[in-house]
């Protein structure tokens, strides 16, 4: 019989409704695993054990009444960038350690409405700025496959928690790869929805169009089901997509049909190339897709290098706009100060031009790709990297260069607004997870779930677990 933590969220929900377990038992089981493993992994910044057990008791009462939402009593975790009304939200920064938001993020309200029980807030880099997770509150998040290596960022704690079986699934957010990067580094499934698919309300803003919330899971069906929970616009959203006509859970059960899939492994950045593990994963995925009956075609990387400096203007302007009192600036990490300083030098004209350039350029790219249904690339150019690798020099410019060496692919789909997913299809000779990325046209999240589910069925990964989570 499977251990409780080996069940995905849907299976846990089914076990609850069948009376095979209780929410209290599920929550206690996962809290025990957090006690045993979270500190070594740097997975959680805050564990809300008492609150979770109180909510589990309420969940069991609702289940006994027989009219409870789909995921009543199932554990989940919330990224510590995401506002939670009753729990501190540090945003990975010591200057925000005691900040308790006045309201929930809309996604938290939706998660609670679906019946999930949050076990706490997962680790993230300061203000979610980097593609690796480290901060001055609890330190780095580590991949359970090799705890000397970083879990990736910025949803690193969430990915480590799911991979290690501390929770069956977790909420993350992705502004430049922050769901897909740690999904690849931790050997799980991560899905970045289309722009406008998930509301940033009530206090968040989708001003740049780069960031979106989404799921980190072990199975495609869990990711589809969690996106069904989240995919509801809020009044006042500036880029809303309507509720999906067909639930994503249904899409994940559909066959995708024969697709034309374009693939490329070259990056859009001069001097940055994928390593041998990334190429091996990419080639194997292409072969697998062909074996499933798809037409896989090699094309040049369609995105121009000129996007990178414009993305940096938008990225740095966002962090420069975070309202912090001057006296805390010296307490911020070196990288945060660098990006805030860089953003502060950008004029309104430069920001406007950068946003217009990204929109016009990616629109042209997408228009040129209309004859394809999906796109295959590596997720990352390199395997999970040693904890000290990114910032060992202490120079934020060198840190940024290494981040580009690590993740030159993911941010392109934030710029274009396309849905994209990292699939854990390959492991290196050292036993490190190596993801591949599948993407689709904007708004085609359902079709992408169908393709990902087909790939998962042909090459299952959910039973492959790091020894730490056994």
Residue 178 designated active-site: yes
Q: E strands of 267-419, at which residues?
A: 295-298, 374-378
The residues pairing with 212 across neighbouring beta strands, listed in sequence order, are: 174
The Cα 353–Cα 313 span in angstroms is 10
Full DSSP string of 244-264: PSS-HHHHTTS---S-EEEE-
Helix ranges restricted to H, 135-218? 156-163, 180-186
What's the token pair of residue 357?
């350039």
Query: Active site residue: 13, 79, 121, 450, which one?
Result: 79
Residue 352 designated active-site: no
The Cα 375–Cα 207 span in angstroms is 27
The Cα 1–Cα 33 span in angstroms is 18
Based on its alpha-carbon atoms, the radius of gyration of the chain, rounded to whole angstroms, reads 21
Alpha carbon 200 to chain centroid distance?
15
Q: What residues have CB less than 8 Å from 137, skipping those under 6 apart?
A: 45, 90, 92, 93, 94, 97
- Report which of 81, 86, 240 is spatially closest to residue 173, judged by C-alpha positions: 81
Query: Active site residue: 178, 208, 252, 450, which one?
Result: 178
Distances (CA, A) of 382 to 48, 297, 298, 327, 407: 35, 23, 21, 38, 8
Residue 470 designated active-site: no
Q: What is the dihedral of CA 430, 161, 214, 113, to 10 degrees?
A: 160
Q: What residues have CB less than 8 Å from 418, skipping those under 6 apart?
A: 194, 366, 375, 439, 440, 441, 442
The Cα 153–Cα 142 span in angstroms is 10
- Report which of 282, 275, 283, 284 is spatially closest to residue 382, judged by C-alpha positions: 275
The Cα 216–Cα 222 span in angstroms is 9
Which residues carry out catalysis?
A: 79, 154, 178
């Amino acid at each position: 019989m499977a251990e409780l933590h080996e069940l995905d969220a849907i299976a846990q929900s089914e076990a609850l409704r069948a009376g095979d377990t209780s929410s209290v038992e599920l929550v206690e089981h996962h809290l025990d695993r957090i006690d045993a493993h979270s500190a070594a992994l740097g997975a959680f910044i805050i564990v809300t054990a008492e609150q979770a057990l109180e909510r589990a008791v309420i969940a069991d009462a609702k289940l006994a009444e027989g009219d409870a939402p789909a995921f009543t009593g199932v554990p989940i975790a919330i990224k510590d960038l995401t506002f939670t009304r009753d729990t501190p939200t540090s945003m990975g920064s010591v200057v925000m350690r005691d900040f308790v938001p006045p309201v929930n993020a809309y996604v938290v309200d939706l998660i609670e409405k679906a019946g999930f029980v949050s076990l706490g807030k997962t680790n993230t880099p300061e203000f979610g700025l980097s593609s690796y997770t480290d901060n001055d509150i609890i330190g780095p998040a580590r991949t359970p496959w090799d705890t000397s290596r970083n879990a990736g960022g910025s949803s690193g704690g969430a990915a480590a928690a799911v991979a290690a079986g501390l929770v069956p699934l977790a909420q993350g957010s992705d502004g430049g790869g922050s769901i897909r990067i740690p999904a690849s580094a931790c050997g799980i499934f991560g899905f970045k929805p289309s722009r406008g698919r998930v509301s940033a309300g009530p206090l968040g803003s989708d001003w740049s169009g780069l960031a979106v919330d989404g799921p980190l899971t072990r199975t495609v069906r869990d990711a589809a089901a969690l996106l069904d929970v989240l995919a509801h616009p809020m009044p006042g959203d500036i880029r809303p997509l309507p509720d999906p006509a067909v639930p994503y859970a249904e899409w994940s059960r559909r066959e995708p049909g024969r697709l034309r899939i374009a693939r490329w492994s070259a990056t859009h950045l001069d001097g940055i190339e994928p390593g041998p593990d990334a190429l091996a994963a990419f080639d194997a995925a292409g072969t697998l897709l062909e074996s499933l009956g798809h037409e896989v075609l090699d094309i040049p990387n369609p995105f121009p290098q000129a996007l990178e400096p414009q993305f940096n203007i938008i990225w740095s302007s966002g962090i420069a706009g975070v309202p912090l009192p001057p006296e805390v600036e010296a307490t911020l990490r070196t990288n945060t100060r660098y990006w805030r300083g860089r953003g502060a030098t950008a004029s309104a004209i430069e920001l406007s031009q950068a946003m217009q350039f990204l929109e016009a350029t990616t629109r042209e790219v997408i228009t040129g790709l209309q004859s394809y249904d999906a796109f295959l690339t590596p997720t990352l150019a390199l395997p999970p990297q040693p904890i000290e690798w990114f910032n060992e020099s202490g120079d934020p410019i060198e840190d940024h260069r290494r981040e580009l060496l690590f993740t030159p692919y993911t941010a392109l789909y934030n710029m274009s607004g396309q849905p994209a997913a990292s699939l854990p299809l390959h492991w290196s000779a050292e036993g490190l997870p190596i993801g591949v990325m599948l993407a689709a046209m904007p708004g085609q999240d359902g079709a992408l779930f169908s393709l990902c589910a087909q790939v998962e069925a042909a090459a299952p990964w959910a039973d492959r677990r790091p020894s730490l989570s056994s």
